[in-house]
Amino acid sequence: MNTIWKYERFLPQVAEPYRVLLGEGQTPLVKSKSIGKALGINNLYFKLENLNPTGSYKDRFASILVSEMVARGQKVCIATSSGNTGAALAAYCAAAGIICIIVVVDGAPLPKVKQMQLYGAHILMVKGFGKDPEVTARIFDELETISKAQGLPLPISGYRYCPSAMQGVQTIGYEIAEELGDKNCHIFSPAGGGGLTLAVTKGVLTGGNSATTKVSCVQPEGNDTIASAIRELRAHANAVKYSTTAVSGLQVANVLDGDAVVGNVRLLGGNGYVVADEAVFGWQKALARQEGIFCEPAAAVALSGLSLALKRQEVDQDDAVVCLITGSGFKDMLSVENNFSLAAVSPLDEKVAIESILKFL
C-alpha cells in the first residue's frame, strides 16, 4: 500500500506488523482550472488533503501516533481536538482496537463530533477550551499530568506535544517536492497552533527542495498568533486573549508551535498573512463553484492568503504556487448553512420540474 510509510527513512521506526494503515497520504496535487487564471498565476496547485481516509491531513499524524501505540502495547488513547485530529485518531484507534477518549474544543463542529462518535470515541466538550487561553492551558496541563502518570502519549497535533507523530505530516512536503521537482515553489499553509505549517517547513528542509521552496503562514484575523509576528520581524509568536475567528480548526489562542514557525518560515523566505473570515468563506465558495473542490473553511485560508500576497505583489506569477486544502467541506456543514444563502429544495410537480430544466436549454 502506497501510504506515508513510503518515506519511512524520515519517519519514526515502527516495525511493519504494528503499522496502522488506512490509505493515508499520496494525495493529489491538482492544477487549478480557473482560479489561477483569474488571479494571474500560471501554475496554481491545490494539495487535496481532504481526500485522506477521514477527510483531512490529520490522518498522517494519526497513522504514526497509533502505530507507535500499537508497538508499545498501549490500549487507551486520551487526546484533545478541534475536530479533525479527533476524527483521525478515533478512526485509527478503531482500526487498532484502542479505546479513544477525546476532549474537544468548545463549539467543535457537530459533523466532526458525530464522526468521532461513530468511530466509537468517547467525547468530552469543555466550556472555553480552545477559545480561552487560560482554560486551554489548564486542560493541556491536566491532561499531560494524567498521560504521564499512565505512561501514555498525549496526541495533540503539534510538535510541542507529539514531535514523532508530526513527522507523518512532514510527508506533505516530501510529496510536493517529488511532484514539482526543482521548480520554484511557494506553499501557502493555514495555521492555528502552527503544527501543520511547521511540519511543511520541516518536510521542505529535510526531504524537499529548500533552495527553491518558500512556505508562508496564513491565519484568520481572530487568531493572529503567528502571521503578524513573521511579517513584523518579531522574534516570537504571541497568544491572543480570546480566539474570535469563526473558522473552525484554527481557533487556537495559544502559541504552541508558533515560535518555531516564525523561524522556519523566515528561513525559507516566506511571509505571514492575516485574512478576514469573510474572505475565507468567499474563497471556500469559489473553490466549490470554480474548481469543484468542496473544502472546509480552514482549507480556504491558504487561498485567501495567496490572494492577499498577490495584491502586495509578493508572489511571482511564474512560480508553482501550492495551496493546502486541509480538510473536507463535509466536516463543517453548519458553516455552509450559516454563510451561504443556498436555495431551499422541496418536491415539485413533475411538470414544473421539466419546465424548470427547459429554461436552462
Question: Rounded to whole angstroms, how far apart are CA atoms 114 and 120?
Answer: 10
C-alpha cell at 202: 520541516
1: pLDDT strictly greater than 70: no
What is the rounded average pLDDT for all residues in the chain? 93
Per-residue model confidence as pLDDT tens digits over 266-299: 999 999 999 999 999 999 999 999 999 999 999 9
DSSP string, 89-120: HHHHHHHHT-EEEEEEPTT--HHHHHHHHHTT
Q: H-type helices in 119-234, by residue range?
A: 133-150, 167-180, 195-207, 227-231
- SS3 of the chain: helix, strand, coil, percent, to 5: 45, 15, 40
Label residue 124 by pLDDT band (50, 70, 90). very high
> Facing residues of 125 across strands?
104
pTM of the model: 0.92
∠ CA 194-199-204, nearest 5°, is 130
Domains and CATH numbers, the chain: 4-53+164-339 (3.40.50.1100), 58-150 (3.40.50.1100)
What pLDDT digit, counting tens, does each position of 237-276 carry? 998 888 889 898 887 878 889 999 999 999 999 999 999 9
Distances (CA, A) of 52 to 37, 109, 131, 251, 258: 27, 19, 27, 22, 25
DSSP state, residue 38: H
